[in-house]
Amino acid sequence: MAFDRVKEILSSEPLVRLPDFSRPFTVRSDASSTGIGAALMQPDDDDVLHPVLYASRKLLERETRYSTVERECLALVWAVDKFHRYLFGSHFFVETDHRPLTYLRQSKTANGRLLRWALSLQEYSFTVVPIPGVRNFEADVLSRLTK
């Protein structure tokens, strides 16, 4: 099923669209045990999201030892930084299949790493939207490309 979905996405037109700064952006990010991936999306006239940019990278050795929530947060912070020129100064959406990220900005965690990352995101205006894992397809696939 996943292979058919990849085939469908890769064969559909257009693969990526030019950014339209009059429309809101959506960031989707995900982490696996070996990498992180992200997609910058924008809605069309029918509110269907289309990719603008993709990004992924392999986790560093020390990052592979992070907890799941730390890897997912790393993916989000890295994606927002990667897409900074598109996101800074405008409100955008973060769609995630990792529910703890929806509480990141309200958390009073004792984990210094998560606290630093939450602070780094404070300069941005965004709304976190929880989504089912099957809708986070692009970022999920990109996070696993390092295997």
Question: In CATH, what number is assigned to the domain containing residue 30?
Answer: 3.30.420.10
Task: Out of 98-102, 113-117, 122-126, 132-136, give the one with best mean pLDDT.
Answer: 122-126
At 71, the pLDDT band (50, 70, 90 cuts) reads very high
pLDDT score for 115: 84
Q: Which residues contact 136 (CB under 8 A, 6 or more apart)?
A: 28, 30, 95, 96, 97
Of 18-32, 52-66, 118-132, which range is least confident? 118-132
pLDDT score for 24: 97
96 or 65, greater pLDDT: 65
State how many domains the chain has: 1
In the three-class reduction of DSSP (H, G, I as helix; E, B as strand; rest coil), residue 67 is classed as: coil
pLDDT score for 119: 87
Domain that holds residue 91: 2-143
Tell whether the model's pLDDT for residue 147 goes beyond 60.
Answer: no
Of 38-52, 88-102, 117-131, which range is least confident? 88-102
pLDDT score for 41: 93
At 78, the pLDDT band (50, 70, 90 cuts) reads very high
Cα 74-66-73 angle, rounded to 5 deg = 20
Q: In this structure, how many other beta carbons lie within 10 angstroms of the beta carbon of residue 71?
A: 23
Residue recorded with tokens 């997609």: 39
Residue recorded with tokens 């529910």: 99
